[in-house]
Amino acid sequence: MYIGTSGSRKVGETAWLTSPMLRPTAFTERCLMFGYNMNGPSIGLLSVYMTAHGEKPGSLLWRMSGDQGQEWKGASVNLSSLEQYQVFVYSVVNKIM
């Protein structure tokens, strides 16, 4: 997912990346690993959520906000659910919470 923070973007503009429904993890955990680059003065918020009921936003698993420097960084979250579930990646332009 890419959401630029310059040019025609407006403060508070959002983007969602939604997974398909995923199978239950039973009694094991899965790991979602991802990279992110949040560089510049108008960087906002990046969050990862999980829900078993398809409702946004669901349970917050991870969040980062503001300028994090020029380097790409990595993060991971554990996923565990006895029901089918979805993962949402959510971004907000130029808004720090």
**Per-residue pLDDT tens for 26-74?**
888 899 999 999 988 888 899 999 998 877 788 999 999 999 999 999 9
Q: Give how many domains the chain has, as a whole number.
A: 1
Q: What is the 3-state secondary structure (H, E, C) of 37-60?
A: CCCCCCCCEEEEEEECCCCCCCEE
70 within a domain of the structure (yes/no): yes
CATH of the domain at 83: 2.60.120.200
DSSP character at residue 19: P
Q: What is the pTM of this model?
A: 0.84
Range of the domain at 46: 14-92
- Residues 6 or more apart whose Cβ sits within 8 Å of residue 8: none
